[in-house]
Every structure is written in C-alpha cells, then in structure tokens.
C-alpha cells in the first residue's frame, strides 16, 4: 500500500513545463487547438520510454512552454485590441436603426466576447489540470492500444466526421450571411469583431467533444474487459474442482486491475471538469443567448416587413449544443453500462474474495460517478435540449405579446 501511495503521489505531481508524450493522431489535433489558443500544455510525439528515463528534464523549463505562453499573450493582445476598437466605435458597429436591434447586437457581442475571454483565461490558468488529464489518458490508453495513426483514426472516426460536417456548416452559413450583408456596411462591421471570437468558441466546443470522446473510448474498453471477465467467470462452473482456486485468484486479480483502471478514468473525468468546466458553462450560455437573440431578431424582421436571413445563424449554435449533449450523453451512458456488466460476473456464495471485490467495485462505481457538467450548474445530457426549447418557446411568447410596444420605440 505504501508503494502504491508513493506511485500515486509521483503521478499526481508532474512538472507543468515538460511536454506530454502523445500518439500522432492526438498530437495533430491538439496542435491545431494550440494554434487557436485553446491548449497551453507542451506536447511532443511519444518516443521510447527508455530514452526518456535516461535523460530526465524535470528541473529545466522546456522551450515550448515559453513559446505557448507568448502565443497566448498575443491572442489576448489581439482580441483585446479588437474589442477595444469595437467599444470605441460602437456607433458605427452596432445596429442603430432602432433600440431593439442595438440591444440585440450588444447582447450577442457581450455573450461571445465574455465566453472567449473565459476560454483564453481558463486555458492558461487551468493548464496543470489539462496536463494531468493528458498524462493520465496517455498512460491508460497505452495499456491496450498500439497508438498507430490508422488505429486511432478508427477509434475517433465518428468524431472526425462530426468536426468536418459541423465546421463546414458553420463556415458556409457565416460566409453566405456575410456576403448577403456586404452592401450594408454597418452590419458587416459588426461581424468583423464578432466572427473571430465566435470561431474560437466553436472550436472550443469541438475540443471539449474530443476530450469527452477520450473518456468514452476508455470506458468502452473497460466495458470490453469486464465482458471478457464475465465469460471467464462462466467457465469456472465448467471446470474441475482442482482448478477452482486458480479461477478464483484470477478473477480477483482481474477485478483489482479493473478497479484501478476505473479509478484512472474517474480521475480523468475530474481533471477534465477542472480544466474546461468554465468553458463548458460559458459556451453553453453563449450558444443559448445566440439562439434566443436570433429567434427574437428573425421574428422582429418578419414583423417589420424586412428581408430575413438571420434565421440561418441559429443553425450553428443549435448544432453545437446538440453535438455537445449527444457526446456527453454517450460518455455517461458508457459509464452506466459498466455497473450492469459488473453484476453479470458469476460466482458462488462461498467465494468470499470475489464477493468482496465485486462489492468494492460496485461501491466504487456508485461513489465515483462519471458526470459531465458545467462547473456544477447543469449536467450535459439530452434533458438540457428539452429545457432550452421550452425556455425559448416561453420567452418568444412574451416577446410576441410585447411586439407592438417595441415597434413604437
């Protein structure tokens, strides 16, 4: 137990300035997020562990860390100057034909800029949790995966297609809308400070979906290992009495290994919530505000008899929320299947060792539940979609009732 505690202590205190070793597929994805200012953890391609152990560099600062710090500072400076220009030229940026349109623009800008600022700040301030998350994932993943690019792509094929389709839809709608309003300089200048921040927030949601898929894949692999143990336990009742001790000891050892794996996966979920919890909450609120504002503005344009194309801007926000909820739901559902599979392991009442391990594993799953939430405010599941639709419908009814008063403003 003492050796295990020391091992856990060494594992939980990595140097925040040393690169994390990852496979090629994961490394390429996170390089993209580093370019967008969404990952401040130094990364490198996984190499021979013997070479790493021969040349430890825990006491030195890796040059990649300084480059990432400077790059994130440049992000802050660029977007800070862009928003400062927006605030000083708000008369030419915001919609000024009526007060309702101006309020709608201010609401969308504040939601997007606030979410972007929180994302950039969290990326820097919570980098140690993200590094621990990636280290735990790398150590857990290498126990069963070869780490080749083809194999990793096969595991994340669904995620890749989600990214391609959602990004293509997002860019096509933004480009189409920007071209349609290019003759109206006032609206075009509004989208100049708005689109970059919205693009970063969109890719933050995609990055979070990738991290949740990491959890889901590890949970699915753990489920497969439990199912193999279920089949192995059934063979126990078909063998001779001389080999019962062997089966009992093997099942106990396998259960101990599975409990350790689940503990690592649970630790990943806790680290993930600490690393991106604020981004989940702010991005969700931002997308909700965008949907509500675009619904208001679309109906307002119809009511005043003007051309309407703003309804298309609802699609990217609705699609982002839907993909986030589905990905989170699938991750938590894999965790729920685990408890069901554990209870299928067969054993006799006299097998006290197996019974004790099964009870411990069940209690562990019960007390260490894997839940994806936004810093405790809400759980990301499909019930949130119902709540969003219900609240938008309710607010739209109030808005429609007060529409004549808004027109007289």
- The C-alpha atoms of residue 385 and residue 61 are separated, in whole angstroms, by 45
R_g (Cα) of the chain, nearest Å: 26
Distance CA(36)–CA(201), nearest Å, equals: 10
Q: How many CA atoms lie within 13 A of 32 on its CB side?
A: 12
Nearest Cα residue to 176 out of 352, 10, 315: 315
Residues 178/191, Cβ–Cβ less than 8 Å: yes
Could you give the CA distance from residue 282 to residue 39 in angstroms, rounded to a whole number? 17
Provide the percentage of residues in the chain whose pLDDT is more than 70.
79
pLDDT at position 3 is 38
Interacting residues of 383 by C-beta distance below 8 A, sequence separation 6+? none
Closest CA to 235 of 218, 248, 253: 248
Q: Which residues pair with 43 in a beta bridge?
A: 20
- Distance of alpha carbon 362 from alpha carbon 366, whole angstroms: 6
Confidence of residue 128 (pLDDT cuts 50, 70, 90): very high
What is the spatial distance between Cα 248 and Cα 14, in angstroms, rounded to a whole number? 37
113-127, 242-256, 326-340: segment of lowest average pLDDT: 242-256
Structure-token pair, residue 236: 């126990």
Percent of all residues in the chain with a pLDDT value above 90, rounded to a whole number: 22
Distance from C-alpha of 72 to C-alpha of 74, rounded to nearest angstrom: 5
Segment 307-313 long-range contacts (CB within 8 Å, at least 24 positions apart): 309/177, 309/180, 309/181, 310/177, 312/173, 312/176, 312/177, 313/173, 313/177
The confidence score (pLDDT) of residue 130 equals 93
The pLDDT confidence band at residue 299, using thresholds 50, 70 and 90, is confident
304 pLDDT higher than 90: no
Q: Which of 57, 36, 54, 161 is nearest to 44 (CA)?
A: 57
Write a three-state SS string for 98-119.
CHHHHHHHHHHHHHHHHHHHHH
Residues β-bridged to residue 373: 379
Residue 68 pLDDT > 50, yes or no? Answer: yes
Q: How many degrees, rounded to 5, is the angle at CA 129 between CA 125 and CA 132?
A: 145
133-187 pLDDT, tens per residue?
999 999 998 888 887 888 888 889 999 998 999 889 888 888 887 777 666 655 6
């Amino acid at each position: 137990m003492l050796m295990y505690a020391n091992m856990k202590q060494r594992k939980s205190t990595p140097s925040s300035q040393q690169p994390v070793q990852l496979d090629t597929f994961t490394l390429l994805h996170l390089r993209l997020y580093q370019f967008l200012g969404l990952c401040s953890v130094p990364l490198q391609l996984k190499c021979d562990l013997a070479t790493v152990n021969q040349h430890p560099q825990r006491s030195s600062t890796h040059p990649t860390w300084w480059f990432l710090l400077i790059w994130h500072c440049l992000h802050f400076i660029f977007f800070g100057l862009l928003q400062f220009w927006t605030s000083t030229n708000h008369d030419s940026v915001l919609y000024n034909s009526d007060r309702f349109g101006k309020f709608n623009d201010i609401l969308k800008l504040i939601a997007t800029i606030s979410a972007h600022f929180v994302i950039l700040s969290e990326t820097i301030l919570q980098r140690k949790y993200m590094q621990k998350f990636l280290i735990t994932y790398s150590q857990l993943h290498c126990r069963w995966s070869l780490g080749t690019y083809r194999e990793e792509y096969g595991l994340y094929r669904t995620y890749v297609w989600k990214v391609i389709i959602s990004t293509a839809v997002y860019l096509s709608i933004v480009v189409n809308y920007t071209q349609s309003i290019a003759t109206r300089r006032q609206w075009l200048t509004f989208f100049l400070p708005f689109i970059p921040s919205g693009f970063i927030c969109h890719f933050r949601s995609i990055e979070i979906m990738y991290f949740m898929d990491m959890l889901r894949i590890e949970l699915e692999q753990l489920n497969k290992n439990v199912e193999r143990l279920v089949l192995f336990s059934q063979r126990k009742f078909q063998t001779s009495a001389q080999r019962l001790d062997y089966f009992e000891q093997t099942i106990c050892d396998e259960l101990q290994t599975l409990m350790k794996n689940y503990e690592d996966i649970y630790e990943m979920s806790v680290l993930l919530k600490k690393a991106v919890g604020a981004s989940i909450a702010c991005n969700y609120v931002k997308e909700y505000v965008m949907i509500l504002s675009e619904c208001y503005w679309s109906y307002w344009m119809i009511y005043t008899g003007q051309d309407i194309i703003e309804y298309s801007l609802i699609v990217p926000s609705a699609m982002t929320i839907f993909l986030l909820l589905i990905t989170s739901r699938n991750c938590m559902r894999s965790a729920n299947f685990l408890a069901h599979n554990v209870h299928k392991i067969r054993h006799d009442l006299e097998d006290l060792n197996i019974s004790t391990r099964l009870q411990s594993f069940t209690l562990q799953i019960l007390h260490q539940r894997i839940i994806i939430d936004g810093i405790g405010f809400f759980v990301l599941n499909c019930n949130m979609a119902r709540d969003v639709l219900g609240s938008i419908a309710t607010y739209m009814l109030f808005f429609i009732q007060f529409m004549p008063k808004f027109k007289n403003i």
